[in-house]
């Protein structure tokens, strides 16, 4: 199988590329290598991937539509997995325009290139943040998601809608997946697992938002990319009628398009998450309790039954085992 991955030097892109390469797939990666966080971490991931003979890479920005279209057309992928994006809820308050150019314009360029190349399956990364102010949990793919509370989430919801329109107009099979708080080795420095681990090992105080009363559905990256790999083969087909769509399936009645949650299906208290880091490091956290930040939500929790129905798989790494693996990687990589 030939798979094109945008954001291949990113956290999730790196792990997905490794999984596919280990299976024998041919992978073409692209990444803009932006400096949203330390580029040396991206270079480190990329160096590992470049050792695989089945991997090739190009560095350019998603906004370069002509370059992107040529790169995809020349590679002739069976599937495209679009992971590149401007990430982060909090950063969207500081640099909102970067989210419009990368997440909306860049994703539109990917969709257009996929259409032109007649790709068999386009898969797009979305986020649990699109559920926004919804309070009914666990979140189901068939729930309305019209109350986003951050620009980041709003741009991701927009890309879901864009991809649905193109799937309908051009019969482009498309799956959007909503990630739930992904963590693991090679993770992003702007996320809590990385920041908390660094601070706890250094004996520094950690900022605990929402006074520790927040909940997240933490998903280990190795589980997440296994789910993506299986979803590549779960190609949606436009139903003959709405009556053919099973209850709980987000399949569109007018397009070969669906959205799928990828999460553990468990909500973990922030204090329990911190305790997992303390157990893995052998150190106690010094905590500074704070109000919840703008654009954040108090809880996320995935219903992953559709993922199980489509693939027979569900993420299952518990937070203590997952954070122990992350802390081991962190110590090996940074040697604090």
Q: What is the end-to-end Cα distance of the chain in Å, rounded?
A: 40
Tokens read off for 272:
């329990």
Cα separation of 58 and 73, whole Å? 14
37 is catalytic: no
Cα separation of 27 and 25, whole Å? 6
Q: Are the CB atoms for 183 and 326 separated by under 8 Å?
A: yes
Cα separation of 49 and 153, whole Å? 30
Tokens read off for 258:
């669906």
Residue 5 burial (CB count, 10 A): 30
CB burial class (10 A; 0-12, 13-18, 19+) of residue 329?
middle
Cα separation of 127 and 94, whole Å? 20
- Interior CA angle at 321 toward 320 and 325, to 5°? 115
Catalytic one of 14, 152, 183, 209: 152
What strand order describes the sheet that includes 79-82?
A: 55-59, 26-31, 2-6, 79-82, 121-127, 174-179, 257-262
Residue 213 burial (CB count, 10 A): 14
Q: Are the CB atoms for 158 and 164 separated by under 8 Å?
A: no
Q: Which residues are catalytic?
A: 152
């Amino acid at each position: 199988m030939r798979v094109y991955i945008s954001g291949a030097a990113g956290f999730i892109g790196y792990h997905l590329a490794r999984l596919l390469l280990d299976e024998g797939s041919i992978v073409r990666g692209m990444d803009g290598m932006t400096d949203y966080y330390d580029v040396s971490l991206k270079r480190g991931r990329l160096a590992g991937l470049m050792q695989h003979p089945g991997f090739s890479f190009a560095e350019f920005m998603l906004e370069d539509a002509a370059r992107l279209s040529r790169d995809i057309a020349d590679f002739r992928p069976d599937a495209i997995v679009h992971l590149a994006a401007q990430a982060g809820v909090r950063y969207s308050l500081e640099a909102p325009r970067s989210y419009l150019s990368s997440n909306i314009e860049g994703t539109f360029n990917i969709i257009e290139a996929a259409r032109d190349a007649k790709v068999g399956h386009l898969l797009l990364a979305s986020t649990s943040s699109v559920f926004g102010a919804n309070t009914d949990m666990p979140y189901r793919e068939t729930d309305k998601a019209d109350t986003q509370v951050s620009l980041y989430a709003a741009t991701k919801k927009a890309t879901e809608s864009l991809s649905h329109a193109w799937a309908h107009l051009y019969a482009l099979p498309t799956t959007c997946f909503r990630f739930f708080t992904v963590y693991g080795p090679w993770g992003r420095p702007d996320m809590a697992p990385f920041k908390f681990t660094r601070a706890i090992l250094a004996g520094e105080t950690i900022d605990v938002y929402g006074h520790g009363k927040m909940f997240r559905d933490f998903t280990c990256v190795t589980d997440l990319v296994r789910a993506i790999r299986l979803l590549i083969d779960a190609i949606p087909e436009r139903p003959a009628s709405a009556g053919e769509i099973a209850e709980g399936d987000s399949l569109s009645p007018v397009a070969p398009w669906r959205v799928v949650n990828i999460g553990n299906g468990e909500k973990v208290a922030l204090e329990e998450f911190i305790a997992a880091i303390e157990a893995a490091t052998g150190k106690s956290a010094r905590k500074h309790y704070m109000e919840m930040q703008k654009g954040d939500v108090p809880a996320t929790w995935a219903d992953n039954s559709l993922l199980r129905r489509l693939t027979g798989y569900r993420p299952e790494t518990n937070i203590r085992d997952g954070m122990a693996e992350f802390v081991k990687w962190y110590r090996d990589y940074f040697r604090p």
